[in-house]
Structure 1
Amino acid sequence: MTRGLLTEFDLHLFNEGSHSRLHAKMGAHPVADGCHFAVWAPNARSVHVIGDFNDWDKSAVAMELRGDSGIWEAFVKDARVGQRYKYHIRSRFKGYKVDKADPFGFYHEQSPATGSVIWPRAYEWGDAAWLKRRAKANAHREPMSIYELHLGSWRLKPEEGNRWLTYRELAPLLVDYCREMAYTHVEFMPVMEHPFGGSWGYQITGYFAPTSRYGSPQDFMYLVDTLHQAGIGVVLDWAPSHFPADEHGLKFFDGSHLFEHADPRQGHHPDWDSAIFNYGRNEVRSFLLSSAFFWLEFMHADALRVDAVASMIHLDYSRQPGQWIPNQYGGNENLEAISFLRRLNEDAYREIPGVQIIAEESTAWPMVSRPVYLGGLGFGFKWDMGWMNDVLKYMALDPVHRRYHQNDITFRSMYQYAENFVLPLSHDEVVHEKSTLIGKMPGDEWQKFANLRLLHGCMFAQPGKKLLFMGGELAQWREWDYETSLDWHLLQYPPHQGVQRWVADLNRFYAAEPAMHRLDCEPGGFQWVDCADADQSVLTFLRLDGQGRQVLAVFNFTPVPRHGYNIGVDVGGPWVEALNSDASQYGGSGLVNGPLVEAWPGQVHGRPYHLSLTLSPLALMLLRPAGQQ
């Protein structure tokens, strides 16, 4: 009889759709005298384990079906760590035969090879202090500034043929850079195993394996561990919305549409030519729940950013009439996907202290980041795609025209606390001929850099957590290319140095000043001073911490300096200009206020005191009362 790891209770939870730790029992698990294998293939007539241990003989090791669970098991004596393997599946249908990689594989061969690899799961973590601290923190009231990056193209090794860095090579470099730039978190574009590099990792075949492009699973653990020990959180992109059609992957796994819907109106994604998970199938729900828990719990990730949520919850996403099937009530809501996401969020927040699940959701779906018990989807945060589109559209305008589009830059205040938002300037905005962030900016070269600094200031001053894709802090001119390194050589030039220094100082101020982050997700954290001066394209508002601290944000969206500009405040006496994007160290003209500015009695903007400021050209100024430092 096969020696299996799965208990009857495991099988019950798996078939019920509630198992969240299948990675501990499914796939390949080496022990001293061999290896346990388990795979789900309910419509297979037979399944054989093939690999280096049996010369890939398709009949040597027959697996045994475990009751009516659909799971096949085998124990292979003397199968060793490092050996490659696959499952040879003979379907009950039409004589279909195929060799499949392990859906629960912990390690896979490097693309273009497609085999799975027997590999141990042990690792000695050193981040207990980080996890304890994280569990006690209120993430919504903590600073969160995320540096989004693609591991393969952040830096290359030119002296070794421009190869990418390994996880272990990346670890100290990334820690040093994040400390230098004062980021609180990094976000990795998908590290899950994927066959096509051009998908940037979003076409996943290995939902339980870090890509072998950069090293072993333990090497990836070392990267996470090193970041945690340095006080830097780790966010992972996770794509449960679709998967590729590669023969060795999940699609048509056992000669049936096992993981995906059979009807292409439900099971085929027209934008990405990929398959869509059948969220209504219990075993698929267990598979995806377990994948999420694997990365959050086993691999110690602090957060998952769930990709393309809109495509999951809308049956008609990117489809024309007649190309989709309404739900049982005639609507376009994918009730099974909604149910799955709610279950995922409830389970993760209940069982793994301090983690976050972040939705990339691009529509106006209500209550994405509100609790399930209130009718929400249960996410902790949601990307504010509306803000991203509005601010980029506004900043691309010639400043002379901005006076006619003031609403683009102020509209967010109407909804900014409707969700717990992350403000993203992500990879999607610097590819596919959209130009880079600095490339989108209008004006001559000086104005482009000034506008870019102003764009970064817009993100940091607004309520919400922050996300910037790599290269944005360098003012990179060239669109991101996943096969080449960032243009680090640009930092030899003062304007690029200035933008980088500006982002670093914004990060430090955002983290150090409670008024800038404590009420990022609560309405008491923001007050308009004046949003109506469209003629001069000036905006002023306060950020507050609810305990008496405040920061005044003043934006001049034109290149015209304005002297003696009066702004109402509630606190009299001296104020300090903490940051000014026009300061000379950032590449600006050096037209700044300070070191102290007096707030005199006299009502302006309905407030009892006022500051008379010089508004620097194309600049953000952040001021606070001198007494609160």
Structure 2
Amino acid sequence: MHQVQPYSLFTDYDIHLFKAGKHYKLFEKLGAHLVTVDGVEGTYFAVWAPSAKEVAVIGDFNYWNDGEHQLNVRWDSSGIWEGFIPHVTKGVRYKYKIHSHHDGVVTEKADPFALFCETPPNTASIVWDHNYKWKDDEWMQKRKEFNDLDKPYSVYEVHLSSWKKKVAENRSLTYKEMAKDLVKYVKMMNFTHVEFMPIMEYPYDPSWGYQITGYFAPTSRFGSPQDFMYLIEEFHKNDIGVILDWVPSHFPADGHGLANFDGSALYEHPDWRKGYHPDWKSCIFNYERNEVRSFLISNAIYWLQQFHVDGLRVDAVASMIYLDYSREEGEWEPNMFGEREYLAAVSFLKEMNEAVYGNFEGVQTIAEESTAFSGVSSPTYLGGLGFGMKWMMGWMHDTLQYFKKESIHRKYHQNDITFSLNYAFSENFMLPLSHDEVVHGKSSLFGRMPGDEWQRFANLRTMYSYMFTHPGTKLLFQGAEIAQSEEWNFQHSLDWHLLKYDYHKGVQTLVKDLNKLYKTVPSLYEKQFSHEGFEWINFTDGNSSILSYIRKGYDEKDDVVVVCNFTPVKRENFRLGVHKSGKLKEIFNSDLKKYKGSGVRNTRALKTDEISWDGKEQSFEITLAPLSVMVFAFL
């Protein structure tokens, strides 16, 4: 077998950017790259290991022997080891064996920049390429029209392993099978976007993908990187955007992963107060190290560039930006100003968002951030973190707590269900009913609903309808749309058999129609992040547990009136104040019989009267269905 030959893809400028933390396309340089040198095909390997005294490539081609193919360290103190090995071709398995200067430690590591990995529990990297002829040009050119902040944004959150399984074969669908089944389903349900829980390679199934070892490799559990590209392409062909969960907050300590990579704390912070996560028993990235910042920002750019994804949902932002997150007194050290914010992580997130929005048109970043940190979705030039949107965790918590209560008790908790509007426009909020809410003994969403069978389903339909008429974008986790009865179990398929039952089928039909309503009524999305898009009619009727409000878009003719009845009491001749005269008609009603509701409707056009009501000069009367949300449009 040929020995390692001197070769490099790096220029001096690359090294300068890398050291400065400004190289945003490291995936084009580090890792394993199929190249031809002097007419000979082979693979160029490059790995960052500054504490190494020796780095060898081991793999199928040398019987995993570290005495055969030792890389050369660059002269420029970058800590990069590199070289060309002839005749190493696509599909070959490999790792790096690293002899450290630190106490003679020897590590055997997967490539941090590997494009493809063995399927767990196997841990080797695989030489691969990105060759793929994309056929989604039409989407890429027009996606800004679908992805802007004043467009409908309704997300179906999916865990690829458990969405649907081939029962007879006891396996998950492949990427190519999902390109048929999942794409068809998301389109049928009228969602505008799909969000995948982490698909980057991860060793431990119960982590659901949030403990990543292969940041640049889509998991091989479901197929090749090209198969994953095909899945994304099929979504795009059907005008559905693709969001990936991205985890720059922490990584596992598995022996083949990033932890203690070259015998030193290379990717993780060396101070355990900043480098170890007590909740997840994992390592925290060292945001103070420029090369690590380059690694992470390059990773964000990589998925957007190489896989055409349309957004990144950034996991666990709160754990990144607070030094005392989940720590007791004495387990953290204040910043230079004596405060709790982790300044390096804050600046990293700002830089990441600037790089993403500066390099790609029509994409979004979304923060899962659970605190009152100010300006998460404000531009960096205004002092914000620069995200496009932020999850509205307060709304999620308050809404779920409210709907758990028997309807007779809700009159004492009117403020719980209205409180979100006090801060709804302080950020660009996404309303999430996510996977975190249906695990670890919390019960499924349906399982929390009170009352008899009819009321439980009516409550669930009402909660979803309230969500879709509330300002903000939407996210619903798989199974919620069929009123999954059991908690989510990552090992099992969703309970698709439930759709044989009318009540479950009714909830699915309702979600499908809510998505259509949201997409086709401009006032529900055009000003979804602005107080100008919302006006209360009445939020003080606690005794009746009724809310009413107006949603507004760019054109006044698109205004709609929403009324929510959170009790099972039907109300005849219920009067609502409105801001203008005219005729209205019912365009949505969660109590329709096709949803397995009671079928109380307003079938005729309703004319406003010059009767002052709810502080407004005009008003009109409706029949208000029990446990329902009703929407009325002006004719």
Q: Which band: TM-score by shorter chain?
A: over 0.9
Moved more, 303-312 or 135-144: 135-144
1:134 Cα deviation from its structure 2 partner:
1.7
Partner residue of 2:345 out of 319, 337, 341: 337
Residues 393-542 of structure 1: pairs in structure 2 closer than 5 A: 393-542=401-550
- SS of 1:602 mapped into structure 2: coil
Alpha-carbon shift at residue 456 of structure 1 (Å): 0.3
The one-letter code matched in structure 2 to 1:461 is T
Give yes or no for the alignment of 1:264 onto 2:268.
Answer: no
Distance 2:146 2:401 in 1: 36
In 2: Cα distance, 1:387 partner to 1:136 partner: 28
Q: Alignment partner for residue 203 of structure 1, among 199, 207, 211?
A: 211
- Secondary structure, counterpart of 1:447 in structure 2: helix
Unaligned runs of 5+ residues in structure 2 are none
Q: Match of 1:229?
A: 237
Quote how far apart the aligned CAs of 1:547 are.
Answer: 1.3
Matched position secondary structure for 1:558: coil
Q: 1:15 aligns with which of 19, 24, 28?
A: 19
Opposite residue 596 of structure 1, the aligned amino acid is A
Q: 2: distance between equivalents of 1:600 and 1:206?
A: 64
1:368 aligns with 2:376: yes
**Take 1:355 and 1:594, find their aligned partners in 2: how far apart are those partners?**
41
- SS of the residue corresponding to residue 152 of structure 1 reads coil
2:183 is aligned with 1:179: no
Alignment match, 1:113:
122
Structure 1 letter corresponding to 2:72: E
Q: Of 85, 106, 124, which aligns to 2:133?
A: 124
Q: How does 1:568-607 map to 2 (within 5 A)?
A: 568-607=577-616
**Equivalents in 2 of 1:7, 1:124: separation in Å?**
28
User: Any idea what the Cα deviations from partners look like across 1:212-270, whole Å, max 9, x if unmatched?
Assistant: 00000000000001101110000000010000000000000001000001221111101
Q: Does the 8 A contact of 1:524 with 1:546 survive in 2?
A: no
In the alignment, structure 1 residue 90 sits paired with structure 2 residue 99:
yes
Q: 1:300-338: per-residue Cα shift (whole Å, max 9, x none)?
A: 110000000000000000001001121122111100000
Cα separation, 2, equivalents of 1:570 and 1:273: 55
The offset of 1:128, in angstroms, is 1.1
SS at match of 2:420: helix
> Which digits, 9 at most, give the CA deviation of each residue in 1:506-532, with x for residues without a partner?
000100110111111122110000001
Shift of 1:159: 2.2
Out of 619, 623, 628, the position equivalent to 2:632 is 623
What is the identity, as a one-letter code, of the residue corresponding to 2:555?
Q
Deviation at 1:572, TM superposition (A): 2.9
Contact 1:198-1:482 within 8 A present in 2 as well: yes
SS state at 1:405 partner: helix
Q: Residues of 2 paired with 1:208 and 1:136: CA distance?
A: 28
- Native 8 Å contact 2:130 2:306 kept in 1: no
Give the whole-Å Cα distance in 2 for the aligned partners of 1:37 and 1:375. 40
Give 1:571 deviation, angstroms: 3.4
Q: Tell me which amino acid in the other structure corresponds to 1:166.
A: T
* Mapped contact 2:404–2:449 kept (Cα < 8 A): yes
Residue 566 of structure 1 corresponds to which residue in structure 2? 575
Q: Distance in 2 between matches of 1:479 and 1:595?
A: 42
Q: CA deviation at 1:2?
A: 1.3
In the alignment, what sits opposite 1:313? 321
| Secondary structure of the corresponding residue to residue 304 of structure 2 | helix
Q: CA deviation at 1:138?
A: 6.2
* Partner SS for 1:394: helix
Residue among 129, 132, 149 paired with 1:140 = 149
Question: Is the aligned partner of 1:279 residue 2:283?
Answer: no
Instruction: Tell me the secondary structure at the aligned position of residue 140 of structure 1.
Output: coil
* Per-residue Cα deviation, 1:478-516 (whole angstroms, up to 9, x for no partner): 110111100000001000010000000000010011011
Q: 1:557 aligns with which of 563, 566, 578?
A: 566
| CA–CA distance in structure 2, aligned partners of residues 581 and 12 of structure 1 | 59
Report the AA paired with residue 9 of structure 1.
Answer: Y
Q: Which moved more, 1:93-102 or 1:29-38?
A: 29-38
| Correspondence for 1:149 among 136, 158, 163 | 158
| Matched position secondary structure for 2:612 | strand
In the alignment, which residue of structure 1 is the partner of 2:8? 4
Displaced runs of 4 or more, over 6 A: none
User: Matched residues in 2 for 1:125 and 1:135: separation?
Assistant: 18
Amino acid at match of 2:7: R
Q: Is residue 2:201 matched to residue 1:193? A: yes
CA distances 1:429-477 after superposition (whole Å, capped 9, x unpaired): 0000100001011111111000000110111001100000000000010
C-alpha distance in 2 between matches for 1:86 and 1:179: 41
Once the two structures are TM-superposed, the CA of residue 59 in structure 1 deviates from its matched residue by 1.1
Per-residue CA shift, 1:272-323, capped at 9, x if unaligned?
0000000000000000000000111111110000000000000000001001
Give the aligned length.
625
Contact 1:582 1:591 in 2 (8 A): yes
1:249 alignment partner AA:
G
| Offset at residue 570 of structure 1 (A) | 2.8
The aligned counterpart of 1:545 is: 553
After TM superposition, list the pairs within 5 Å mapping 1:369-384 onto structure 2: 369-384=377-392
Native 8 Å contact 1:85 1:118 kept in 2: yes
Asked if the contact 1:417–1:522 (Cα under 8 Å) also holds between the matched residues in 2, the reply is yes
**Structure 1 residue 136, shift from structure 2 partner:** 5.3
Which region of structure 1 is more displaced relative to structure 2, 140-149 or 50-59?
Answer: 50-59
1:372-421 superposed Cα distances (whole Å, 9 cap, x missing partner): 11110110100000000000011111111111100101011111110001
**Which amino acid in 2 is paired with 1:104?**
F
Distance 1:3 1:355 in 2: 36
How big is the shift at 1:573? 3.5
Query: Which blocks of at least 5 consecutive residues in structure 1 are unaligned?
Result: none
Distance 2:390 2:583 in 1: 38
**2:29 matches 1:25:** yes
> What do the CA deviations read for 1:339-373 (whole angstroms, capped 9, x no partner)?
10000001111111111110000000001000111
The one-letter code of the counterpart of 1:572 is: S
Q: CA deviation at 1:565?
A: 0.9
Q: Secondary structure at the match of 2:611?
A: strand
Q: Say which of 75, 80, 85 aligns to 1:71.
A: 80
Alpha-carbon distance in structure 2 between the residues aligned to 1:276 and 1:570: 53
- Secondary structure of residue in 2 paired with 1:187: strand
From 362, 367, 375, give the equivalent of 1:359: 367
* 1:350 paired to 2:349: no
Q: Secondary structure at the match of 1:552?
A: strand
Aligned partners of 1:321, 1:280: CA distance in 2, in Å? 23
Q: Which amino acid aligns with 1:310?
A: A
d(CA) in 2 for partners of 1:57, 1:172: 43
Q: Distance in 1 between matches of 2:29 and 2:361?
A: 23
